Structure 1
Amino acid sequence: MRRLLPILAAVVSVTAAAAQPPTPATLATPATPATTSGIIRGRVVGADGRPVKQVVVRVLGTTVRMQRGGLTDENGRYELKDLAGDTYTITINHSRFFAIDTARRTPSAGKRVTLRNGEVLEHVDIVVSRTSAITGRVTDEDGEPVEGAQVQALQLRFANGRRQLIEGGRSRGTNDLGQFRLYGMQPGQYVISVMPATTGTNRLPGYALTYYPGTPVVAEAQFVVVEIGHDRENVDVRLSPGRNARVSGVAIAVDSRPFNGSVILANSQRSGGLSAPPRQLPVQADSTFDIPNVPPGEYVLQTFVLTGDQDGQFAMQYVTVGDQDVKGVTLRASRGSNLAGRITLEGDASDVKPSAFSMMPFPADFDLAPMTGNGYRAQIRADRTFDMKGLFGPTRLNLSGAPAGWMIKTVRSGGIEVTDTPLMFGRPNQSLDDLEVVLTNRSGSVSGTVADARGQAVTDFVVIVFATDHDRWYRESRFLKYALAEPDGSFDVRALPAAEYFVAAVDWMQPSPGFGEWQDPEILDALSRRASRVTLTDGQRVQLSLKLVPR
């Protein structure tokens, strides 16, 4: 059985993935700008100052998107060559270490530096901390050890408009004493899951998937909090006899042929609360599917397959699971809607080609649209037209590619403004061919600096700009953006529409484009009480001096 990471989100590893040691050379080489003679050198050291060897160091440019990487030597030194002038973010990758901010003892999203053409930057050092471990024991209802059970840490993340559990690395088996050790854990909140062996000599029939400390229901699980530099011990899980249900049925393609794809089971958006990782299984040759070990809850079943030329077939069905098996579920696929439109460029577009822009559909309800995404990114043609196929569910249009400072100003259908209104797709008769998208570079921006409570300048922070209107706090909202601190301690958040905003500088957060706790309404609500407030008109640029908000 395979598991599916959260939908349309960049793949996140909540532990630093153990890397196969590459040679100390370039790991990636995109298109090379004219001048690539810059060099960044430094060391990777522990909090005690000792060098850390065999650490993968990577650098990613902001403008040219250049990537380079290499390994630290025995003295912890690294060297990244052939770099163009740009602002770079430097990160590390190792199964036993992660970068930290030494002043606040918090995880670091990466060190940012500005490199001029041909410059050599020295002493760009990175301080790391060791990852932690979670240890415990799995027993049955009589306190007897359970051998061969698979134990996994699921980290709490905010994605797709809800709190979800994301697989936090490889599962580990229990030994003959029922003991387990999950290592390489970064700070965070985790739920521990235990799956008894279903085959082999350690097979344990009559027991279901269980969450710490001993419940089959993920919403009743207790969190295990991992802090920097501390292991968590005695995280013991007790199994109890019982079984979870099975969900089975058939998936039928549009032409009534067997469905050549997979079925996905996930906690539905309507269920609320905590969501376990989705599960994905193949549909069999006779169109049947069978999903074992499903705990009680509200779920959505989906199938999706691309059929060529970015078209696809999709089906979904809500399923309520209790103590009994759910049989006879029918997923009958349909073809989606099509969308065609044209863009208009407002502002100084003399040096901009239409091909520099791309549009992407983004679902407003992940139950009603393919969880895996349809993979569609519409490139704008020379005549400024675009089209999309295979759209399902309530959808907003996002600008997935654009020159700096450009944003969506207005979207109209049939002369009616629908800029921030989800458009309903799913059937051929819901297709649209008259979409008008106005793009502009007359966007607002918020920039400035950040100081701590003592008035001292801060150079490592995350700034979140979000509308004061709570209804605009949805994922991929154009009224919700973040920015990391620039190397000189400044920040600049661009492409903001006219609106009233909260602006908060947070001492620690690990945001990612498209998802992360910076989009969590509860986090935003808490930040709003300590945030600055600013009103932007069209194209207005505002400078602020912010006070750091500690987490």
Structure 2
Amino acid sequence: MQADGADMRTRVLAASILASAGLVCAQPGGQSAGPARPAETVELRGRVLSGRRGVPVRGAKVAVTARERENVSAFTRFNGSFVIENAPVGDYEIGVAASGYELWQKRIRIPSGRPLDGLDLRINRSAVITGRVLDEDGRAVVGATVEALREQFLEGRLRWRDQSSRMTRFQGGFRTDDRGVYRIFGLSAGEYVIAVRPTEEPGLDGQLRFDTAPGYFPNAGSLSGAARVEVDWGEEKQGIDVRLVKAPPTSAHGRVSSPDARISCSPCRFEVYRWDGSAVRMVGSRSTTEQGSFSLFGLPPGQYVAVARLYDRRAGSQAFGRQPFAVSEGRVEAVEVEALAERDIVGRLVLVDPPDSVGDESGAWSSRIRLEADNLDPTETRPIRGMFAKVEGMGGEGPFELTAVPGRYRLIAFGPKGAYVEGIEIDGRPVPGSKLTVPRNGISGDVVVTMSFATGTVRGTVRELEDGESTGALLGKGGLLPPASTVRLLPAGEGPPAHPRLYGRVREGGFEITAVPPGEYEAFAFPDRAGYSIEDPRYRKKLARYGGKVEVKSGETAVLDLQALPTREQFGQEGLR
């Protein structure tokens, strides 16, 4: 998962296509369009095909989208053909959504004055992994949750994330039927690890009990022993059977308590997660007893985290607690989870030498400030109420007030246009980077966030990679364009505190990024749907020759000439491993 602006645009486009397509199950040949018709439109004709043999895809949704215009769309007929009668002239995004296929999108140039005909859009059928889940006696395990895990680089770490179909996961996940059979669909081509989490057995309040231990394909008890399953586009990999073993006779008992009289666990919800290599996976969740106690039976030996989230709606209070613990055979573990209530954070947002353009005639201006958990560990996911604040300022500063449960956070400020966070202090003591730690007793001092307007500009050109299907578009004939690129600036080193995500969209081969804090940066022209993250160190070195280094100084403009990074398809799957 990339944290790039390009990736966000991809998700927005995908949501747009799916929303307009409903469940992507509609009568072929139908057409829909928004009420706003652009000044100049032409007819767009083409086909949606699948696979090397070009099999027509019936009932696919084809949509031309742009931020400033209403979407125009059509469904394909029985032969895969489609006609969009009022396609807007210019450069846009075109996407295809069809049940059982990848969600596909690319840039398109629609010429003026004549129809664009003969446009073949080739999409891949999604992959499927299917098999059975059996216990050690060969009997079917019914109702087990099965996930397809894939390794991704997120927020500076390699993590295993479930890549199963989002629509099916929304309905409760992929579960085995009465035969123990599972079928995971909607997968992209690549390597996966199949993980199985059996359903907890019915029990009393506060008891989480398992008769079968979780496992991985083919018969591994941990992620390190799991085998990889590789699938290609359109492939249905069968016989991926997982054999589980009986849960070990382990037990752990615990209690959730809070030192704050405003909130108590009577009862409250607790969750249990297991650390398994670079994966953090939920084991199960249940309500405690009225006294806040809980018991765990049948957990495999290993490292775990118990998490409690407390809410008292009448008092308007919330609390959060987490406690790591280990499980081993032959021992009864005691787990005490202390849930700490939220604390107030009071501070000021100070603007250094703001330009005359900041604020209205009276000097009033507004900003936003928020706290984010310091990592993506699901066991660190705290309540988010109160972690956002709007700052109403006058002249050079404005007050803010946040609430957060004790823990580590990143403070992010969205100041007036052109400002960046220069530093953070608590009672005059600098806070390293953007890291803000809320202790159990809260922050007693005044938090001062300083924002500066002393920034520079980075502009330049980007040479984009060409492929066969883009040749006509580059000659001005209209058609599919190469993947669009977004230039990312990555700090060379730690970077300034609360460093913003700096990027600029490439348009007509050029880009410009304004309000860049002074410092040294690495610059990359990152394509849409690249298939990897440039922040992943495994790829960063291999792709360094495409990037550039730049030093930004206040009030100055730095110029760069970049080569667009290849997508995974252009680079080659093996080249990026």
Give the structure-1-normalised TM-score. Answer: 0.72
CA distance in 2, matches of 1:250, 1:230: 48
Corresponding residue of 1:532: 548
2:559 is the counterpart of 1:542: yes
Contact 2:366 2:415 in 1 (8 A): yes
What are the equivalent positions in structure 2 for 1:126-145 lying under 5 Å apart?
127-141=122-136
Amino acid at match of 2:560: Q
What are the equivalent positions in structure 2 for 1:367-406 lying under 5 Å apart?
370-375=380-385, 376-383=387-394, 384-399=398-413, 403=417, 406=419
Cα pair distance change 1:366/1:90, threshold 3 Å: same
Which one of the candidate residues 20, 25, 48 is aligned to 2:23? 20
CA distance in 1, matches of 2:346, 2:184: 47
Corresponding residue of 1:225: 230
Amino acid at match of 1:478: H
Q: CA RMSD in A?
A: 5.0
Tell me the number of residue pairs that the alignment of Structure 1 and Structure 2 aligns: 511
Cα pair distance change 1:19/1:183, threshold 3 Å: farther
Cα pair distance change 1:184/1:19, threshold 3 Å: farther
Corresponding residue of 2:100: 96
Give the superposition deviation at 1:350: 1.3
Give the superposition deviation at 1:425: 0.8
Cα deviation code 1:207-227 (max 9, x no counterpart): 211111222223433333333
2:127 is the counterpart of 1:158: no
Cα pair distance change 1:451/1:159, threshold 3 Å: closer
Corresponding residue of 2:524: 504
| Higher deviation after alignment, 49-58 or 333-342 | 49-58
Contact 2:60 2:75 in 1 (8 A): yes
CA distance in 2, matches of 1:243, 1:128: 47
CA distance in 2, matches of 1:184, 1:385: 48
Corresponding residue of 2:420: 407
Which one of the candidate residues 331, 336, 344 is aligned to 1:329? 336
What are the equivalent positions in structure 2 for 1:346-361 lying under 5 Å apart?
346=353, 348=355, 350=357, 357-361=367-371
CA distance in 1, matches of 2:419, 2:91: 20
2:446 is the counterpart of 1:433: yes
2:255 is the counterpart of 1:250: yes
Which one of the candidate residues 215, 227, 234 is aligned to 1:210? 215
3-state SS of the aligned residue for 1:315? Answer: strand
CA distance in 2, matches of 1:188, 1:489: 32
Corresponding residue of 2:59: 53
Corresponding residue of 2:372: 362
What are the equivalent positions in structure 2 for 1:258-277 lying under 5 Å apart?
258=265, 261-267=268-274, 273-276=278-281
What are the equivalent positions in structure 2 for 1:122-201 lying under 5 Å apart?
127-141=122-136, 149-167=144-162, 168-169=164-165, 170=168, 171-174=173-176, 178-196=180-198
2:449 is the counterpart of 1:460: no
CA distance in 1, matches of 2:316, 2:66: 30
Corresponding residue of 1:314: 320
Amino acid at match of 2:321: A
Cα pair distance change 1:544/1:413, threshold 3 Å: farther
Cα deviation code 1:478-526 (max 9, x no counterpart): 276556655x455555554222222334567458xxxx84443444354
Cα pair distance change 1:39/1:528, threshold 3 Å: same
Amino acid at match of 2:188: Q
Cα pair distance change 1:89/1:195, threshold 3 Å: same
CA distance in 2, matches of 1:93, 1:317: 44
CA distance in 2, matches of 1:401, 1:432: 22
What residue ranges of structure 2 are gaps of 5+ in the alignment? 1-6, 203-208, 475-480
Corresponding residue of 1:5: none
CA distance in 2, matches of 1:315, 1:198: 23
Give the superposition deviation at 1:127: 4.0
Give the superposition deviation at 1:310: 8.6
Cα deviation code 1:47-73 (max 9, x no counterpart): 427354253748462xx6x87586635
Contact 1:37 1:81 in 2 (8 A): no
Cα pair distance change 1:507/1:311, threshold 3 Å: same
CA distance in 2, matches of 1:522, 1:407: 30
Corresponding residue of 2:306: 301
Contact 1:337 1:427 in 2 (8 A): no
Give the superposition deviation at 1:132: 0.9
Give the superposition deviation at 1:371: 0.4
Cα deviation code 1:262-298 (max 9, x no counterpart): 3343456xx8623335855445554344566644433
2:347 is the counterpart of 1:340: yes
Cα pair distance change 1:264/1:467, threshold 3 Å: same
What residue ranges of structure 1 are gaps of 5+ in the alignment? 1-8, 101-109
Give the structure-2-normalised TM-score. Answer: 0.70
Give the superposition deviation at 1:192: 0.9
Cα deviation code 1:159-211 (max 9, x no counterpart): 354333333234444467654332111234422122446669xxx98421111
| Higher deviation after alignment, 271-280 or 218-227 | 271-280
3-state SS of the aligned residue for 2:562? Answer: strand
CA distance in 1, matches of 2:366, 2:39: 27
CA distance in 1, matches of 2:527, 2:152: 18
CA distance in 2, matches of 1:432, 1:454: 58
